[in-house]
Amino acid sequence: MADREKYKVIRKLDAGGMAEVYEAVAEGIEGFEKKVAIKRVLPHLAENKKFIAMFLDEARLSLHLSHANVVQVFDIGQAGGTYFIVMEFVNGTNLKALMQKMKSRNQLLPIEQSIFIVMEMCRGLSYAHGLKDAKGRSLGIVHRDVSPPNVLISKQGEVKIVDFGLAKATSQLEVTDPGVVKGKYAYLSPEAATGKKVDLRMDVFCCGIVLYELLTGQRLFLGNTDVETINNVRAGYVPSMQQFNPGIHPQLEGIVRSALAVDPNQRYQTCDDLAESLAHFLFSAQLKVTGFDIRRTLENVIGDPNKHIDKQAIIDNFIQQEIAVFSSLDGGMTLRRRPPSRTSNPNAPVDVSGFNSHSGSPPGYRDSNQSMPGAYTPSGAYQTGSVSNAGYEEEEDDGTEDRQNFWVGLTVALAAVTLIIAIAWALGFIP
């Protein structure tokens, strides 16, 4: 039986291509309240079965991620014909908004703070990349959309990556609903942009893009059209950083260029390696930076993030009612959950039977030729690359609890009947 959490929506935070994000309060037992963010898939996209199946698949996987630099996912649910992800609420801003604000002031973040943000991103990514199943096999997790809107910065100066793996689902929509992914191509890696298989080194490349843009205040690959952007990514041309920011040391520029190598074999092989080089650079350049500096920057640049909320954006009754009857698809904050594991056959379909039984959602789908992320061909047609990605076994209800309940019930019933007979006999109703 699915748990039924109560969520009270406070306000709409923002909207992306595939979803709207709301700030809400989870009301638990005995008046316990916790702020959460709820991502609501735009209802028309929920009709795309392939997208939803992959979306749920990735969202379920993200339930297992628990790290200071990763936005924690608490719950996945369904209501009103669409789907929701309930996650940790990050009170602050996203990196895109911070960069835009700096640009409007004609300023750049201090070099050490830009480095700090990317090092923190690397910590979160590295944790997810390193996750293994119970048998010690890598789960092969890749974020696939490391871009400024998916990097959240809290008022306290924390840096957290959000939307792990969701890009994989979104690319299902590229052919039918191209608006959904518009503007996202500037944060692809060359191998993704050419339809090749991607691995964690795609995320290394994207950290390189974010670092380049933070340090220079310039978009690296953005072209006038999507096709131009994709061609820029494929070519991987990286203009001199010093022309935009003379304060950039050649050693630092070298690090960014290594992260941005077109050939994944020539890149840093892991986010750990990139972060390590950045740490060495900070040390050798005698630069000191902590989360407190980021906190001060946020105070100065963004101020109170809640001040800019458009009152019109306050949630309407319709959404509140929808979320009020939200039913968890997978048992809510599944603390009972076993660690994820690869199925013996990595291409085997993921078991989403739990979803089906509660929600009537589409059957679990995992394409044996995992097609993520797609890539534009010169003709503009979307081409899918083959990415090996594991199926993830979820905790299954093996019926043990039901069987125990049955025997307890039977014992109680027998005891009650025996007691009634004994009393009836004692009172002389039974000879």
163 lies in the binding site for Mg ion (CB under 5 A): yes
Which lies closer to ligand ATP via its Cβ, residue 145 or residue 253?
Answer: 145
Burial of 378 (C-beta count, 10 Å sphere; 0-12/13-18/19+): exposed
Given ligand ATP, Mg ion, none, residue 7, with its beta carbon under 5 to 8 Å by kind, binds none
Judge if the upstream peptide bond of residue 250 is cis by omega within 30 degrees of 0.
no
Residue with smallest beta-carbon separation from Mg ion: 163
Shortest gap between Cβ of 11 and ligand ATP (angstroms)? Answer: 11
Binding residues vs ligand ATP (CB under 6 A): 13-14, 16-19, 21, 37, 39, 71, 87-90, 94, 149-150, 152, 162-163, 184
Question: Catalytic annotation on 145?
Answer: yes
Look-up of token digits 């039984």: 357
CA dist., res. 202 & res. 144, Å (int): 7
Given Mg ion, ligand ATP, none, residue 26, with its beta carbon under 5 to 8 Å by kind, binds none
Which lies closer to ligand ATP via its Cβ, residue 17 or residue 217?
Answer: 17
CA proximity to 119, closest of 314, 247, 326, 294:
294
Listed in sequence order, the residues at least 6 apart from 82 whose beta carbon sits closer than 8 Å to its beta carbon are 40, 41, 42, 43, 45, 46, 322
Shortest gap between Cβ of 398 and Mg ion (angstroms)? Answer: 36
How many residues sit close enough to Mg ion to count as binding (CB under 5 A)? 2
CA dist., res. 89 & res. 208, Å (int): 27
Shortest gap between Cβ of 83 and ligand ATP (angstroms)? Answer: 13
Near Mg ion by CB under 5 A: residue from 82, 150, 170, 189? 150
Shortest gap between Cβ of 94 and Mg ion (angstroms)? Answer: 8
Stretch that binds Mg ion, among 35-43, 145-153, 326-334, 361-369 (CB under 5 A): 145-153
Which lies closer to ligand ATP via its Cβ, residue 39 or residue 366?
Answer: 39
Catalytic residue among 145, 177, 199, 203: 145
CB 85 within 8 A of CB 39: yes
213 lies in the binding site for Mg ion (CB under 5 A): no
Stretch that binds Mg ion, among 102-110, 163-171, 225-233, 388-396 (CB under 5 A): 163-171
Given Mg ion, ligand ATP, none, residue 384, with its beta carbon under 5 to 8 Å by kind, binds none
Shortest gap between Cβ of 60 and ligand ATP (angstroms)? Answer: 17
Given ligand ATP, Mg ion, none, residue 87, with its beta carbon under 5 to 8 Å by kind, binds ligand ATP
CA dist., res. 380 & res. 178, Å (int): 12
Which lies closer to ligand ATP via its Cβ, residue 158 or residue 395?
Answer: 158
CA dist., res. 35 & res. 23, Å (int): 7
Given Mg ion, ligand ATP, none, residue 89, with its beta carbon under 5 to 8 Å by kind, binds ligand ATP
CA proximity to 63, closest of 302, 350, 406:
350
| Token pair in block for residue 422 | 């004994």
CA proximity to 20, closest of 2, 46, 53, 57:
46
Which amino acid, 105?
A: R
Residue with smallest beta-carbon separation from ligand ATP: 16
CA dist., res. 276 & res. 130, Å (int): 16
CA proximity to 274, closest of 255, 246, 301, 251:
255
Given ligand ATP, Mg ion, none, residue 361, with its beta carbon under 5 to 8 Å by kind, binds none
| Rg of the chain on CA atoms, in Å | 25
Shortest gap between Cβ of 360 and ligand ATP (angstroms)? Answer: 25
Q: How far is CA 134 from CA 127, 262, 330, in A?
A: 16, 34, 21
CA proximity to 42, closest of 62, 67, 65, 22:
22
Which lies closer to ligand ATP via its Cβ, residue 94 or residue 126?
Answer: 94
Show which residues are catalytic.
145
Give the footprint of Mg ion on this chain (CB under 5 A): 150, 163
